[in-house]
Chain A
Amino acid sequence: MQIKSILEDNKVSAKSILIEISIEDYLGLAKQIYKKNNFQRRRVRSSKNVYSLLKADILQGCVMPPVVLAYTKPPGTLEYDLQDAIHKDSEHFVLLDGLQRSLTLMEIEAETASKADIQQAFLARMMRCEIYEGINKIGILYRMLTLNTGQTPMSVRHQVEIMYQEYLDVPFQGITLIREADARRARQPNCYNFKDVIEGLNAYLDRSETPIDRGDILENISSLENLAKENDKRDVFNDFLITWNRFIGKIVLFDLKYPCENDTGDANDDASQDPKAWGTTGQQIFKRAQAISGFGSAIGLLRDEDSSISFVTLDMDNLVVGADGDEFMLEFNDLISALNSRAKRIGNAQRLFFRQFFKMLFWNDSGTYLNLYRSAKEAFTSANRIGI
């Protein structure tokens, strides 16, 4: 294997390194990336003919377009020892474009196992890889979106998941992202469900609170346009997460609890324990996926109207409940209950409600700016007006 060309990519502040590599060496790396990365295990089935044709072409020696990888170690590492990086450092590689081609190569290897000469010739053949070195995560996302305009693009959400999975279970500025299965931990302060945060960021990039994971080209282009507005020196994921954590921190400080006759005072109780309440604490209300998606979408829309608005400029310090805590909790639960009974799709209606809630809460001219109680009432009215 050898480096053939190095170009500077100024848009994403990274080096683009083109290498030639044997299929055997590439498969060694690809299998490691595939093995460690649960989020990439999506095989798209082509029709039988297309599938067979691709395999036959590759066996005949057809040259595939370069597979694109990102290498997250500092610039210069690859140039220093390419062999070492490819063979021993798979953990720092991310597959940006070429998952289906890689899977096809793996299948050809398995299918030619009984024909040693054919397999040997296949594995010895050279292919090209393009590697983005020293790239930050938003740069990777940007490149993934620009690359994935083929037949089977990955959804933005899927790509964000792939990139930020290393944040899972690793504390970051006092915040921990955890897997969906660990619901109990997700209720703890400064702990968030990884999937919910990804949904929230996707809602921001997509300017839409609905969770439909279409993965189509139009969705990707729309997100790409919004991503291009971001400052490439900042990591929007970090900003998003830190800001959301500040908001939740403020909610915890307000100590909002649903008034009930036998109040146990356990903030971690499930809402299902009190059939009257959708959310028994402020934290429980706002830690739902609907809330974080609504938040992402609302801030995205506000930013489109006023580019000076960003996550870091949101005035969390001056948020007020705007009513007695009990009154707020009763009113909020009543609004959600009314919303649920009318909504064609409850999840979407709640997401829309939260989008409107956060728009009202953080829009200077809303008339309910920074006031939780009044923003909730206004959000209910406007969500109904828009149509639930």
Chain B
Amino acid sequence: MGRITRVKSFAFRRPDGVLIYIPVPKHWDQTLIPRISRGGYSVRTLVTASPPPEASFSPVLIESKSTNGYLIPGSAILSPDTPHHDDAYYCAYNIIAADVICRSSLNGEYRQASKNCVSATSRDLIFHQDLFYLITWDSQIPAAKSFDKDYSISLCSNGLVGPNDDGIPGWLCTSHNADRSPLRIKKSLELPDYAITILCSLVPNAVNPFLRFFYLYQIVEYLMGRDFDSRITGLRQDFLTNQDPSMVELREIVKKFQKAANEETRINSALDTACIHTSAAADALLDKLNIADEDLTFAGKIYRVRNTLFHDYRRLHDYDSEVSSLCQNLYSYLLARLMPS
């Protein structure tokens, strides 16, 4: 905002061209406004399991020891009722969100504005009321340009995803409680786009628990595939370094390859770290199905459920709440697996 020292109001241009002026509450602490470099910030919309209380917020630390973002409910943007009017950082980030959204409207861009902005006469019809705005200070974020690819999984594991057309997705791994404590966001492992789409868009919006399991199993298969690739690379290296393998050595390599290609081996290897909550949920479901096998590993249980779902769906038909519970736990587990340890 350059030399601007205090903001009095913002102009929002509705799609029909009418300008709406939204005042910045006079009692807000704007001492940081002169230090803001306009254009150095991004604003994203995020939802959690339920609409956030207006008084909630989270300072955000994205791969940093100091705050480089804020998560603020849309209902609090330029709200004269916010109890945090004397927090200069909160006010600055809140004003930045309003600035970005209102400036976009002047260019006919309404991606971050509420659908109601078409007939808006006041701020509550311009800013989304049921979701969060994530305001980030881009120059202080290592991977600002690939933000969605790098940080979506971390946000998702904190119960924060992008909104759907109807507002809030029904199945998140947790609900973000923006209780003013810092929200730490880290870069996830390198992932293909489809895996991010599955975890951050498809799973949270899949009403059917069987479909959610199917989606989640795609991530299990991705992990299996990644593990398989690293094993095969090792075998290939062994094979290539040995120019003239003996029959015994060749048999050994083939045996290793066969083992690596075996699906049960692959899932055991991919899900080598057990999760007690997911394991208990899988046990509950397998009990209902009268599948009792004490020797099953954690991965084996997931594989057994997968086989039943894929090949004998009717047996699972009446157990959607158990499948749902398993999905909830497996979802959290997989998200954690995709973050660096």
**A interface residue numbers (CB < 8 A to B):** 43-45, 47, 155, 183, 211-215, 270, 272, 275, 340-347, 350
Contact = CB atoms under 8 A, between A and B. Distances in A.
Contacts of A213: 121-122
B79 A343 contact: no
A199 to B, nearest CB: 12
A346 B79 contact: yes
Interface stretch (B80-88, B167-175, B268-276, B279-287): B80-88
A346 B55 contact: yes
26 contacts: A45-B16, A183-B26, A212-B124, A212-B125, A213-B121, A214-B119, A272-B27, A272-B85, A275-B86, A340-B81, A341-B55, A343-B53, A343-B54, A343-B55, A344-B51, A344-B52, A344-B54, A344-B130, A345-B54, A345-B81, A346-B54, A346-B81, A346-B83, A347-B80, A347-B81, A350-B81
A272 B28 CA distance: 10
Nearest to A216: B119
B108 interface: no
Contacts of A212: 122, 124-125
Interface in B86-125: 86, 119, 121-122, 124-125
Nearest to B80: A347
Given A45-B18, A272-B27, A346 B82 contact: yes
Contacts of A350: 81
B53 A272 contact: no
Interface string B179-196: 000000000000000000
Chain B interface residue count: which class?
20 to 34
Question: By CB atoms of chain A within 10 A, which of B75, B82, B119 has the most?
Answer: B75
Residue of B51, B53, B82, B125 ringed by the most chain A CB atoms within 10 A:
B53
B75 A345 contact: yes
Nearest to B26: A183
Contacts of B40: none
A343 B26 CA distance: 22
B29 to A, nearest CB: 10
Nearest to B76: A346
Given A272-B85, A340-B83, A350-B81, A345 B17 contact: no
For the complex of A and B, the 3 pairs showing the least CB-CB separation, nearest first, are: A346-B81, A45-B17, A347-B81
A345 B122 CA distance: 14
A342 B81 CA distance: 13
Nearest to B121: A213
Contact of B55 (A214, A215, A270, A340): A340
Contacts of B119: 214
Contacts of B152: none
Contacts of A272: 27, 85-86
B66 to A, nearest CB: 25
Contacts of A347: 79-81
B73 to A, nearest CB: 8
Interface string B110-149: 0000000001011011000110000000000000000000
Contacts of B18: 43-45
Nearest to A271: B27
Given A272-B85, A344-B129, A347-B79, 10 more contacts: A45-B18, A155-B121, A212-B124, A213-B121, A275-B86, A341-B53, A344-B53, A345-B75, A345-B81, A350-B81
